[in-house]
Structure 1
């Protein structure tokens, strides 16, 4: 039987929004498998899917850059170990410079980016090593995205932890910024329902089917319940299906249509998303030290 730690219970609670005792019980039944426990709790309670984007698990910042003609843009996540360094001016400037290099030089991947040069003449890897020595922490570029199109770019940074880059056609510059801000707030998965990953949709349909089956209603009614929930889910996770944050009575799709615009692509980075952050149990460390 797997050990169920307080940290595991906390993580499951953040994913489901349900009580600690319920989360602990589900983890015990799932033998410590957080994903299996989450799915089981969703089936029983009807809870929505967890949003990993709300769980910041590492430090750093998101840097952005848009060219003067707004045809090219880049977004990059650069990580460090502590929030103190994440707020350091040298670290911030480094992340912003990297975003500019990505936009202007179009590296194939992070390794290729490291070999490129900054305006100072040093390579990015040399500059990174210099920062590591100066600030005393590991620093690394984790991921980036670059858009270039006949349309235009817009970016929105919520502080330094959340960044959004939008490639759109039509409409004014203010529209692009509004859409980028909406994405940061509402966290859509993709632009439209046609782009929802098939495996993600299949998983949601499976859970909705299990939820509906527990109602005990006839198969034809269950089928309609499932389709209704799938339709609602698609509206929740697609950009065009969501209510616009500045005017919830209007969907983003209607907003774009009223401006003669369309969103071609977008990307959102949340610092530390998907990274396990090492947690220190000081009480355990003290107890262990006392035994030495």
Structure 2
């Protein structure tokens, strides 16, 4: 016989996981009311469900924007789902806004995921790491392991999906997406994004006031 689970516990679990009410109740019953174990059950279920949906075509969605305080940094991101129905859901729009905010908060991020990183970037990172002084006296086997480990670490720093979610340090962006796939029942993909920084790419003109004063004086003489 299953134990009775209070609505308050179900609501608490739902707020922490984003899973449906019935799924939360079942997970709590399965784990005798243990919140931590119930969260693990939902996470495993959600990841499995998300993995199954990850290859489905997602062509609907939204283009979301985020302008940081002071209007000096801006982001546009395209977030895709499978149907217009999900694209209109408030949860989907909050996710898009959170992702845009995440991009603005991560100046080093350049790619959606590791799969989006081009071969030239990968090869350049391998070359840089292989030429470092501290590897000269290492054997080839150990040297290669260190290089690959360092390159993977460096590439993850520029991959959006590998970033820690700024609103929940226990989640990566990849896990955040998968939770919403489980919650909304559709595949969700970050297709592309663009960051804008005020004045980026422009050479700022600086002037030396003392030089300007001297030039004026010289003209007067």
TM-score tier by shorter-chain length is: 0.5 to 0.7
Written as runs of structure 1 = structure 2, the 5 A alignment for 1:139-288 is: 150-158=60-68, 159-170=70-81, 172-187=92-107, 188-211=109-132, 213-214=134-135, 216-260=137-181, 261-288=188-215
1:7 corresponding residue in structure 2:
none
The CA deviation at 1:272 is: 1.5
Higher alpha-carbon Rg: 2
Q: Contact between 1:234 and 1:241, CA under 8 Å: does it hold in 2? A: no
1: CA distance between counterparts of 2:177 and 2:122?
25
2: CA distance between counterparts of 1:247 and 1:275?
36
Higher relative contact order (CA 8 A, sep 6+): 2
1: CA distance between counterparts of 2:111 and 2:129?
21
The CA deviation at 1:265 is: 1.4
Greater per-residue helix proportion = 2
Gaps of 5+ in 2: 1-58, 82-90, 182-187
Q: Contact between 2:135 and 2:143, CA under 8 Å: does it hold in 1? A: no
Q: Contact between 1:212 and 1:222, CA under 8 Å: does it hold in 2? A: no
2:171 partner SS:
strand
TM-score using structure 2 length: 0.59
Aligned CA-pair RMSD: 2.0
Q: Contact between 1:164 and 1:269, CA under 8 Å: does it hold in 2? A: yes
CA deviation map 1:91-125 (0-9, x unaligned): xxxxxxxxxxxxxxxxxxxxxxxxxxxxxxxxxxx
Written as runs of structure 1 = structure 2, the 5 A alignment for 1:129-148 is: none
The CA deviation at 1:282 is: 2.2
